[in-house]
Chain A
Amino acid sequence: MRRTRTNSIFSLVAKPLCCALLLLSLFGMVWLRSSVTSAAYAIRELEDKRSAELKEMKTLLAERSRLMALSNIEVPGQKFSRNERKLVSGAYVFPDRVKVIHVQKTKGSDAYKASYRPGERH
């Protein structure tokens, strides 16, 4: 008698539950697979976007590099004396090695001493 009752409980609850779980896991797996696939497609779209951005970045870097070439560097609004003009090379200005400021390092907290000639009295 007891065995019959157990069987009936199992038949009534456990079996449908198992079936439901089985179905759920089946559909769950299908859903999971579809989600992963959707995510992979989305990632690919992002990768394509990144690739397009990188292409544009490379184009801009190339343009920057072209503009930064020394031959393209301009010295805006500068006027030079005759001597200075000798050192102005095209559009690029080189430092004048004759006009050198020598800064004498000093020990302690004294201020550094500067002069136009090495060893000159300050």
Chain B
Amino acid sequence: MRLPGLNQGRDDTNRKRTIILNTIIVFSFIVVFFRLADIMVLKNKFYSEKANSQQIKTEDIQTRRGNIYDRKGREVAINLELESLYCDPEEAHANADTIRRLSSILNAEPKAIKAKLSQDRRFVWVDRKLPLDTAERIRKLNVKGFGFVPEAKRFYPRGTLASHIIGAVGRENQPLEGIELKYDKYLRTSGGKVKVARDASGKVLSTGLNMETKGNDVILTIDEGLQYIVEKELEKAMAAWRSVAATAIMMDPFTGEILALANRPTYDLNDISGANRHEVRNRAITDIYEPGSTFKIVIGSAAIEEKLFPSGQTFDCSRGSIEVGGKNVRDAHKHGVLTFEEVIQKSSNVGSIQIGMRLGKERIYQYAKRFGFGEKTDLDLPGEVSGWIRTPDRWSATSLGAIPIGQEVAVTPLQVLRAYAAIANGGYLVKPHVVAEIRTPEGQPVFSVHQAQKKRILSERTAAAMRDILKTVVEEGGTATGAAIQGNKVAGKTGTAQLVDSRTKRYSRDRFISSFVGFVPADNPKLAMIVVIYEPKGQIYGGVVAAPVFKTVANQALSYLNIPMDGSPTQNLLLVAR
């Protein structure tokens, strides 16, 4: 039996307890709900930023410049992976012993490291671009507050080779010269930042992204082998003639591809800070000079093209001098009566001026422009100058006695070479270039020179006639017998130009520029080359100073390229043995 009153009392107590319990639970839930709402909604930004700062790390996508290769795929500019050491002076705790060890590894003064550690900043570079093994030795010291950032350093495996073509980059990989500067927009790439998650111990989650991006690769027309030959022989010539400077360019006369381009003095691409302006100058395109007798192909070609002289026409050069506008121009030696061909072969100034007078200034100017003198060749290297030739209305009374023999005009070695290439290739003015192709890092072509740009400036007949005359220059009786090669005919022309004395404003008697420009094999040219020696000592003539350099380089270059000797049967399999 249950008592109704007693039950009633218990029910009331239970109900009260239930109400209190429910109220507490509900209230607790409300508190939790509001706290959650506070955290998730009201203070969302604060907490998400706090979480992000603890869990999310921003990493830079490493950028690397594209590589530069020669025409056979040999690396001439690549990237070295290095590490840069930084420190946070607030966190860095390095005692005297650690600083001593650090300075020993870094080969730096302990004072300098101490000074960096006492700076009032949170990030200080201790040393940049350290080799990996050096970085590893520092890492083993386990110094708090120090860290590494991966960085790339441009490395030029061939050192000084082709330095004036390749150019260089600065400490921050900014382009300074050459291909590095001209093709910077292709070589460099943009990086960016990626957010990655990390745990409490600093371990980073994989993003699956490539954390390195590389620029396009550039393939040059330069051949390392030919470049090496040219530079080596130029170096020898510089030493032999104790000259101030020297330049040589080798080109494919049909395509305009520059196969080698060298200047002396030169500089080490891996140590650009040690180079002076004299060494960095790419004289092949930035320096102008009076070409002297090498300019005589302009009047020679013009006379043939214009059919000015009948076959057998002679020129009286027996006096050994000629007066033009009150100025007496002499030959180096008295020649007597010369034929048109002999005027070029013996490089007679008197004969050349007579041809020039017959041509007249308008035609001389017109043909000089046809050969590309007075305008840039548009070579894909920075710093090219156009040279100059005055318009006929600004010629003086003596100009007709100067311009036909290569005075009163300023040219670059490359312009002269291009003009001779036109004779070699049958009358076309080609566009010289040093870049053959640009490829993406995956090997897809971005840009390539498939067809040579060329413009006809002379008839085939004139070019062939000039080729024959230039061949005689290298034969017995010519001015450049020193350029003759066993097995192949050479065609070319010497040049000996006087420099102007800046003090007297007159032609110097002891400062000359000796040059030789030509092509080989003469009847089926594979190479066109110019050699310019600035201010040689002891000898001055192009035939004595520059022509032998041409011979030595051409001899080795023909061997290197395995070009057969003239008259070799092409239907036979030809083996070249050492």
Measured CB to CB, the residues of A under 8 A from B are 37, 40-41, 43-45, 47, 51, 54-56, 58-59, 61-62, 65-66, 68-71, 84, 87, 89-90, 92-105, 112, 118-119
Contacting A112 at CB < 8 Å: which of B155, B203, B573?
Answer: B573
- B204 adjacent to chain A (CB < 8 Å): yes
Contacting A104 at CB < 8 Å: which of B150, B204, B563, B572?
Answer: B572
Q: Known: A62-B78, A62-B80, A65-B78. Is A92-B577 also a contact (CB below 8 A)? A: no
Interface residues contributed by chain B, number (CB under 8 Å)? 48
What are 27 A-B interface contacts by the 8 Å CB criterion? A40-B206, A41-B199, A41-B203, A43-B206, A43-B208, A55-B132, A59-B132, A62-B80, A66-B158, A66-B159, A69-B224, A70-B224, A71-B159, A87-B559, A94-B559, A96-B576, A96-B577, A97-B559, A100-B564, A100-B568, A100-B574, A100-B575, A101-B577, A102-B568, A102-B569, A118-B569, A118-B572
Closest 8 CB pairs of A and B: A55-B81, A65-B157, A43-B206, A44-B206, A94-B559, A66-B157, A70-B228, A40-B205
Q: Contacts A59-B132, A94-B556 known; list 5 others, CB within 8 Å.
A: A71-B158, A71-B228, A96-B577, A97-B565, A104-B572
Contact across chains for B161 and A69 when beta carbons are under 8 A apart: yes
Contact across chains for B573 and A96 when beta carbons are under 8 A apart: no
- B143 adjacent to chain A (CB < 8 Å): no
- B477 adjacent to chain A (CB < 8 Å): no
- B23 adjacent to chain A (CB < 8 Å): no
**A68 cross-chain contacts in B, Cβ below 8 A:** 74, 157
Q: Known: A95-B578, A96-B559, A102-B569. Is A41-B206 also a contact (CB below 8 A)? A: yes
Contact across chains for B206 and A47 when beta carbons are under 8 A apart: yes
Q: Which residue of A lies closest to B569 (CB)?
A: A118
Report B524-562 residues with CB < 8 Å from chain A CB.
Answer: 556, 558-560, 562
CB distance from A74 to the nearest CB of B (A): 14
Q: Which residue of A lies closest to B575 (CB)?
A: A101
**Alpha-carbon separation in the docked complex, A112 to B159 (Å):** 45
- B319 adjacent to chain A (CB < 8 Å): no
Contact across chains for A105 and B572 when beta carbons are under 8 A apart: yes
CB distance from A7 to the nearest CB of B (A): 26
**Alpha-carbon separation in the docked complex, A95 to B578 (Å):** 4
Q: Known: A70-B225, A89-B232, A102-B574. Is A97-B558 also a contact (CB below 8 A)? A: yes
- B486 adjacent to chain A (CB < 8 Å): yes
Q: Known: A87-B559, A97-B559. Is A69-B159 also a contact (CB below 8 A)? A: yes
- B229 adjacent to chain A (CB < 8 Å): yes
**Alpha-carbon separation in the docked complex, A56 to B131 (Å):** 10
**Alpha-carbon separation in the docked complex, A105 to B486 (Å):** 26
- B396 adjacent to chain A (CB < 8 Å): no
**Alpha-carbon separation in the docked complex, A71 to B235 (Å):** 13
Q: Which residue of B lies closest to A114 (CB)?
A: B575
**Alpha-carbon separation in the docked complex, A66 to B203 (Å):** 37
Q: Known: A62-B78, A70-B225. Is A103-B574 also a contact (CB below 8 A)? A: yes
**Alpha-carbon separation in the docked complex, A61 to B75 (Å):** 10
Contacting A95 at CB < 8 Å: which of B79, B80, B229, B576?
Answer: B576
Contact across chains for A58 and B565 when beta carbons are under 8 A apart: no
CB distance from B210 to the nearest CB of A (A): 10
Contact across chains for A103 and B157 when beta carbons are under 8 A apart: no
**Alpha-carbon separation in the docked complex, A102 to B576 (Å):** 8
Q: Which residue of B lies closest to A46 (CB)?
A: B206
**Alpha-carbon separation in the docked complex, A54 to B80 (Å):** 11
**B205 cross-chain contacts in A, Cβ below 8 A:** 37, 40-41, 44
Q: Mark B68-85, 1 if CB is under 8 A from A, else 0.
A: 000000110011110000
Contact across chains for B575 and A103 when beta carbons are under 8 A apart: yes
Report B163-208 residues with CB < 8 Å from chain A CB.
Answer: 199, 203-206, 208
**Alpha-carbon separation in the docked complex, A91 to B227 (Å):** 15
CB distance from B262 to the nearest CB of A (A): 13
Q: Mark B147-158, 1 if CB is under 8 A from A, else 0.
A: 000100001011
CB distance from B561 to the nearest CB of A (A): 10
- B445 adjacent to chain A (CB < 8 Å): no
**Alpha-carbon separation in the docked complex, A93 to B568 (Å):** 23
Contact across chains for B203 and A119 when beta carbons are under 8 A apart: no
- B441 adjacent to chain A (CB < 8 Å): no
**A89 cross-chain contacts in B, Cβ below 8 A:** 229, 232, 556
Q: Which residue of A lies closest to B203 (CB)?
A: A41
